[in-house]
Amino acid sequence: MMHFHDRGVQFWRRFCEREWDVRPGGNARLVASETSLGDRDDEAELVARWRRARALGARPLGGDPIVAVPDGDLLERKERLAPVTARFQRLFAPLEDALARASAIALFADPEGVILSTKGWRTVDSPTARARLVDGCSWSEKDRGTNAIGTAAIERVPVSVVGAAHFEARNHALFCHAAPVLDLFGEVVGVVDVSGPIGASDAAFSAAVPMAARALEEALAHDLFARTIAGGLPAVEARIGNDREATLVVDGRGQVIARNVAFCTLFGLSPEEPLTVERLFGTRFDAVAKYARDSQVPLAFEVADRRLAVSLEPLQDTRNRVFAVIIRFRDRAFRQEIVRARPSPARPASFSRIHGSDPALAATLDKAARIAPSTLPVLLIAETGTGKERLAAAIHGASPRAVSPFVAVNCAAVPASLLESELFGHAPRSFTGASRSGSKGKIAEADGGTLFLDELGDMPPAMQAALLRVLEDGSYYRVGEERPRKSQFRLIAATGVPLAEAVAAGTFRADLYHRLAGAVLAIPPLRDRRDLPELATAILGELAAPGTEPKRLSRAALARLTRHAFPGNIRELRMALHHSVVLAGEREVVDVEDLPDTLQPGATSLGSKVRRVVDDVMGRALDSYGGNVSEAARRLGVSRSTLYRRGLTPTDRRRER
């Protein structure tokens, strides 16, 4: 999600004073200004959006009255998108109480930012009512300046705008989280938004908005299949399921939405593993669709030392636009070689202890595997408990330095007064409490290998300068010594602190930051990952005693885990599963009562409550359709993989019964 945080009303006023001549009475006259504003990257991004809004004609003091479309126009807009708004209402019905408690409102707007439908609570004098978050009002950037609804429609990505990051002054009391809804042709159909008083902002709302947008996109995709193909997507799935050849279906978003057993066997993939056409062919859906429509010549593809012919069958709507492609891999000769593509190469063995198939994590691991053989320093951006040290060790293990030491230091765990001697070592008796024989230090231990510095953002300024010196030429001094020493190592640093902000605040050296950021890798927090069931299964395997079968999670226990926010990330998940395995004793299946107290119903956050509502709705749908995942997913307007990721599979349901 693109975040525009509240930088304070003074920052907004400086923008207005420099770029506008703001006069009493709500009038504003545009004046030329070349003055720079917003030296920090995030501030510059916000100012760029404000300037775009200014260029479109928006005014920081707003217009009076607020722009609204005529009733007849609004009725036409509502009729055109009635199926989508009806689904929007059903999606947010379970969250109505949560919205009411936060005095917040959920809404759906059309591509031009005109509000068509709302769900939630407001009073006449509430911030949302004063801002005119009501049917018929326009929230385009042209009319309202920078705001989550209009900006998400332009940027085509989820957007969060909080407080004085809004262009209009009257919206400074609001938080707004929005996400665009795109059809299979990449066109914006509308925007989902949750807005409310700034003090009631909650991470659960920012998470629920993109999820609702994705659910609406899934529903639109199913509707398109149903309108153009007899039997819809289920008929296509049944058709490729009978193919002896490896076959898959990729939709206009580039996502593989169906695959048969032959394909999974050929590529060694699970039926639920997220896959895109870009990962498979190294190109975008547009290129595949164009080739499928315009050419009859098969592609060449190599996998597992076999050369295959790939045929592409386009699926088109009534306007002859390709919205999906059926791709078949055939073991036979082809007339002309057009492309030679290979699936992503396997990662080095040192990465095998990092579990999960989440797309964001997979992208990070693929990039890490590519840079591992180089000498680039690496900066890991991640929250605590996400597995930073494990990834650093994997990079070391895949590098030419693997035969030399991997040395890890947690900068936050060492007192500032001792960190220098811990890293650089010290001469005998060089300070009170120093060892009689001295200490070589972690930098010396890492000579020829890799030094991993975790929680680098906590390093004192004096230590930052000393670290920069050793990174420049490899020379350093032990505490209490005047003789320089040398150590050649690769540095992998990790931090959960936004170092760019620390640099702007003057608490972290800019030259050290640029020296560290040779390659920057982001590890997603567990709450943003889609592969918790897979990760939990892998951890249970690690916890199993040698020679014994790993325990399994009941569907109810897994659903409870997926509802938890896991602020401690994988470390917290591992401890929760360890606790559960101990309590389960001799039983093969870990159940809800085995989970720690922090995961029990009374300890859930608002975000967890939102996820519980969603899981309960999904569970009831599966019950209604006899465990038929395809039918339940179709009725809910979500993908089958969503049900699998939440542990709501038919296999788990049979075990529970």
Q: Are 259 and 271 in contact (CB under 8 A)?
A: yes
pLDDT of residue 241: 81
pLDDT 10s digits, 250-277: 999 888 999 998 888 887 777 777 888 8
H helix and E strand count, the chain: 27, 23
Q: What is the enclosing helix (H) or strand (E) of 132?
A: none
pLDDT at 218 over 50: yes
Least trusted range by pLDDT, from 52-66, 177-191, 341-355, 536-550: 341-355
**Portions of the chain given CATH number 1.10.8.60:** 527-656
Distance of CA 161 to the CA centre of its chain: 18
**Portions of the chain given CATH number 3.40.50.300:** 359-523
CATH T-level topology, domain 232-341: Beta-Lactamase (3.30.450)
Give the range with max mean pLDDT: 226-230, 398-402, 415-419: 398-402
pLDDT 10s digits, 515-534: 888 889 999 999 888 888 88
pLDDT of residue 439: 86
Cα distance between residue 245 and residue 237, in whole Å: 14
**Bridge partners, 307 (sequence order):** 302
Cα distance between residue 479 and residue 481, in whole Å: 6
Residue listed under structure tokens 């300890």: 603
pLDDT at 225 over 60: yes
pLDDT at 341 over 60: no
Burial 548-574 (b: 16+ CB within 10 A, else e): eeebbbbbbbbbbbbbbbbebbbebbb
Q: Name which residue leads in pLDDT, 378 or 615.
A: 378
Burial 55-80 (b: 16+ CB within 10 A, else e): eeebbbbbeeebbbbeeeebeebbee
253-262: long-range contacts (C-beta < 8 A, 24 or more apart)? 253/182, 253/184, 253/186, 253/217, 253/285, 254/278, 254/284, 254/285, 256/280, 257/221, 257/233, 257/324, 257/639, 258/233
How is domain 527-656 classified at the architecture level of CATH? Orthogonal Bundle (1.10)
Q: Name which residue leads in pLDDT, 505 or 73.
A: 73
**Encoded amino acid at 227, one letter:** R
Q: Which residue intervals of 102-248 are DSSP H helices? A: 127-130, 141-144, 148-155, 203-228, 232-241
Q: Using 50, 70 and 90 to split pLDDT, how confident is the model at 628?
A: confident
Q: Are 625 and 631 in contact (CB under 8 A)?
A: yes
Q: What three-state secondary structure class fits 79? A: helix
As a whole number of Å, the end-to-end CA separation of the chain is: 40
Closest by Cα among 537, 539, 531, 554 to 619: 554
pTM for the model:
0.51
**Encoded amino acid at 145, one letter:** G
Cα distance between residue 134 and residue 68, in whole Å: 9
The count of residues in the chain is: 657
**Portions of the chain given CATH number 3.30.450.20:** 232-341
Q: Using 50, 70 and 90 to split pLDDT, how confident is the model at 372?
A: very high
CATH superfamily of the domain spanning 1-198: GAF domain (3.30.450.40)
pLDDT at 473 over 90: no
CA distances for 258 relative to 202, 263, 351, 614, angstroms: 35, 10, 28, 24
pLDDT of residue 102: 87
Which residues, at least 6 apart from 176, have a Cβ–Cβ distance to it below 8 Å? 147, 148, 149, 160, 161, 162, 166, 193, 194, 195
Cα distance between residue 490 and residue 492, in whole Å: 7
Closest by Cα among 611, 552, 614 to 581: 552
pLDDT 10s digits, 271-300: 777 888 888 877 888 888 888 888 766 666
CA distances for 27 relative to 62, 64, 527, angstroms: 9, 10, 46
pLDDT at 34 over 70: no
> Which string of DSSP letters, residue by residue, matches 211-263?
HHHHHHHHHHHHHHHHHHSTTHHHHHHHHHHT-SSEEEEEETTSBEEEE-HHH
pLDDT of residue 563: 82
pLDDT of residue 623: 66
pLDDT 10s digits, 130-180: 788 899 999 999 999 999 999 999 999 999 999 999 999 999 999 999 999
pLDDT 10s digits, 169-209: 999 999 999 999 999 988 999 999 999 998 887 777 888 89
Closest by Cα among 439, 487, 438 to 467: 487
The mean predicted confidence, pLDDT, of the chain is 82
pLDDT at 644 over 70: no
**CATH code of the domain occupying 359-523:** 3.40.50.300
Residue listed under structure tokens 């009038």: 27
| Average of per-residue pLDDT across 553-565 | 85
* HSE, side-chain direction, 13 A CA sphere, residue 339: 15
pLDDT of residue 634: 65
**Portions of the chain given CATH number 3.30.450.40:** 1-198
pLDDT at 445 over 90: yes
pLDDT of residue 308: 77
